[in-house]
Structure 1
Amino acid sequence: MATPTAKPPKEFSAASLAAMQFAAGGCAGFIEVSMMHPLDLIKTRFQIQGGPSDPHHYSSIADCFKKMYRQEGLLSFYKGILPPLLAETPKRATKFFSFERYKNLFAYGNYIPQSVVLTLAGLSAGMTEAIVINPFEVIKVRLQSERRSIAQQKSTFQTAREIVAADGLGLKGLNKGLSSTLGRHGVFNMIYFSFYHNVKGIVPEAKDPTMDFFRRFLIGLCAGTLSSVVNIPFDVAKSRIQGPQPPEGIKYRTCFQTLSLVYKEEGYFALYKGLLPKILRLGPGGAIMLLVYEYSFDWMQNNL
C-alpha cells in the first residue's frame, strides 16, 4: 500500500486546494457509503423498533439479517441507498472542506491551542454537514423503515415528492429532525476530527508504508468508534422523529423531548439502540473515510 509521498507538494492556489479537498471528500463519502450501507440500515431498524412485543422486533443483528432476507429479499439491505449516495459527495465534501476552512479560521492569530482548534473545527464542520444532509436523511429513514420488498417500494424521488406534498420543506417535512441531526453530526465530528488529528500527531509515523497505513487505519477506527458511542442518543432521536410515528399521532417532535420520552418509557439503554451496527459501520467506515480523503488529496496534489 503506497503511502503519501514525503516530497513537498506542488504550489497551488487557495481555490485549487479547496477544490481538491472538496473532491477528495466526495470520493471518501461515496466509497464509505457503498461499502457500509447495510449496517446503517440495520442500525435504523433497531432504533425505530419498540420492545419485544413489537411484531417487527429483532433480537440481534443476525436475527435482523435473517428476517430481512427471508421477508424482504437480498436487495432489501440496500433500501434507501440512493439518498446517501446522492448526498455523500456533497455531504463528505462539505465535511472535509468546511473542516479545513474552520480550522484555518480558529487557528488565525494562534490565540487558541491546536487541540481546541481541531475540536471547534470538527464541531462546526459537523453542524454545517448536518444542514446539507438532513433532507436526504429524512428520505433515507422513510425508505429504510418500510417493511415491503424493495420491488414494491416507492422510488426515492416519489418518496421525496410525497413528503414535500404532505408536509412541505420545513421542520415538519423535508427538514424534520434537524435539531437532532445537528446534534448527531456536531458531536460526532467534534470527537472524530479532534481525536484523529491529535492522536496521529502523537503516534510516530512508521517508516514502512504498509505499517503506516495500518497506523492511520487504527487511529481512524478508534476515532469512528468513540464518536459513535458518544453521539448515538442523538442518532436514536433522529430516527424516531424521522421514522414512522405511532398510529395515535405524532409522538416524537423535538430532539430533547424525544430523548426524554425514550428514556422515560424504555429506559437508559434504549438511547443506545443500534449501537453495535453503528460501531460496525462507522468504526471501520470512519477509518475508510479519513484514509480515502488523505490519499486522494495527496494524489491530486502530486498528479494534477
Structure 2
Amino acid sequence: MAAPAQQPLPFQFQFLAGAVAGVTEILCMYPLDVVKTRAQINTGASMGIVESFKTIIAKEGPATLYRGIAAPILVEAPKRATKFAANEQYTALYKKMFGLEKVTQSLAIATGVSAGVTEAMLIVPFELVKIRMQDPLNASKYTGTMDALSKIIKQEGPFALYNGLEATMWRHAIWNGGYFGTIFMIKDLLPKAESKNEQLRNNFIAGTVGGTFGTMLNNPLDVVKSRIQSATGDGPKKYNWSLPSLALIAKEEGMATLYRGFTAKVLRLGPGGGVLLVVFESVSNFLRKNFMDQQ
C-alpha cells in the first residue's frame, strides 16, 4: 500500500526552515561570494580562486573575506525563507490551478521561477549594499553596512537601492528554475532512501547538482547585476538593463567575461545548494515531527 502523502508544513514553519537553511549556508560559504564579486566587477585580468584569496588576505587582511556580510545576514533569513516557502506555496497554487495531483518537472521549474522572482524583489537593496561593500574601490568610502546604506540614500537617493532590480529578477528566476527543476529530476533518478542518512545523502546530491546547474545558467546575469550595482554616482551608467549589458560586455571583453567568478560561485552554490536542501529538509522534518504530529 502506498505511503500517505506527507502533510505540507504551514507557512510559518516553511519560513523558519528556510531561514535556518539560509543562514547556515551563508556562514559557511560567504568568502567565496566575496571572491566571486571581485572577479565579476573587475574589467582587467582575472585571477584564480587561490590567488584571489591570497591577495585579499595579504593586502587587506582575512577579515575582508567577510566584509559586507551584515547585509546578506540581515536579509538571508527572509531571503532563503522566501525561496523555500514561496516555492511550496506556488507548488500548492499551481497544482490546484492546473489540476495536478503530484509535482512534475515542468511544475518544479515553474514554481522555482516564480519563487525566484518573489525572492528577488525582496533582496535588491541588501544585494546592492553588499556589492558596494565587497568592491575594493569602496574600502575607504564605507565604514560599515549602515554607513554604506545611509551614504547611498543621501548621495544617490533612496531609489538607488533598487538599481539592478531587473537583472536580479532574471538572475533569481533562472537560478531557482534550474535549481528546483534539477532537484526534482535528480531525486527521481537516485535510489529511494531507506534510512535517514540515505535521505540526507540524496538531498545533498540533488541540492548540489541543482545549485551547480542553476549557476551554469545564471552566471552571465550575475555578472551584469554586479556591474550595475557596483556603479556609484549620479552620472550616466554604462550598464543599466540586462540584455544590452550582456551584449556590451560580450562585445568589449569577450563572451568568457560573462562567466567571470564562475568557479568561486559554483563552489559556493553547488555544495551550498546541497547544504540549503539538507538543512531545510532536516528542519522541516523536525518541525513536522515535533509540532504538527502532536496536533
TM-score (norm 1): 0.88
Q: Is structure 2 residue 162 aligned with structure 1 residue 169?
A: no
Residue 49 (structure 1) shift: 0.4
Matches within 5 A, 1:33-182: 33-52=26-45, 58-108=46-96, 110-111=98-99, 114-147=104-137, 153-170=142-159, 173-182=160-169
Q: Is structure 2 residue 286 aligned with structure 1 residue 303?
A: no
Larger helix percent: 2
Aligned pair count? Answer: 287
Seen in structure 2, the aligned counterparts of structure 1 residues 246 and 258 have a Cα distance that, compared at 3 Å, is farther
Partner AA of 1:296 in structure 2: V
Partner AA of 1:122 in structure 2: G
Q: Is structure 2 residue 175 aligned with structure 1 residue 206?
A: no
For structure 1, the 5+ residue unaligned runs are 1-5, 53-57
Residue 245 (structure 1) shift: 5.8
- Separation (CA, whole Å) in 1 of partners of 2:231 and 2:67: 16
Aligned match of 2:23:
30
Residue 109 (structure 1) shift: 5.0
Aligned residue among 289, 292, 299 for 2:276: 289
For structure 2, the 5+ residue unaligned runs are none
Deviations 1:113-160 (A, max 9, x none): 72221111100000000000111000000000035769x851101111
Deviations 1:206-251 (A, max 9, x none): 3243233222211111100010011001000000001146999521
CA contact (8 A) 1:72 1:147 kept: no
TM-score (norm 2): 0.91
Seen in structure 2, the aligned counterparts of structure 1 residues 246 and 268 have a Cα distance that, compared at 3 Å, is farther
Aligned match of 1:3:
none
- Separation (CA, whole Å) in 2 of partners of 1:228 and 1:41: 16
Partner AA of 2:212 in structure 1: T
Deviations 1:45-90 (A, max 9, x none): 00000123xxxxx421111111111110010000110000000001
CA contact (8 A) 1:71 1:149 kept: no
Seen in structure 2, the aligned counterparts of structure 1 residues 68 and 147 have a Cα distance that, compared at 3 Å, is farther
CA contact (8 A) 1:76 1:149 kept: no
- Separation (CA, whole Å) in 2 of partners of 1:102 and 1:247: 39
- Separation (CA, whole Å) in 2 of partners of 1:44 and 1:109: 39
- Separation (CA, whole Å) in 2 of partners of 1:215 and 1:33: 21
Q: Is structure 2 residue 206 aligned with structure 1 residue 216?
A: no
CA contact (8 A) 2:156 2:234 kept: no
- Separation (CA, whole Å) in 2 of partners of 1:285 and 1:117: 23
Seen in structure 2, the aligned counterparts of structure 1 residues 91 and 98 have a Cα distance that, compared at 3 Å, is same
- Separation (CA, whole Å) in 2 of partners of 1:147 and 1:78: 16
Partner AA of 1:135 in structure 2: P
My pick for the range that moved more, 94-103 or 243-252, is: 243-252
CA contact (8 A) 2:155 2:233 kept: no
Q: Is structure 2 residue 215 aligned with structure 1 residue 231?
A: no
Aligned match of 1:250:
237
Seen in structure 2, the aligned counterparts of structure 1 residues 174 and 109 have a Cα distance that, compared at 3 Å, is closer
- Separation (CA, whole Å) in 2 of partners of 1:164 and 1:285: 32
What percent identity do the matched residue pairs reach? 36
The alignment yields a C-alpha RMSD, in angstroms, of 2.3
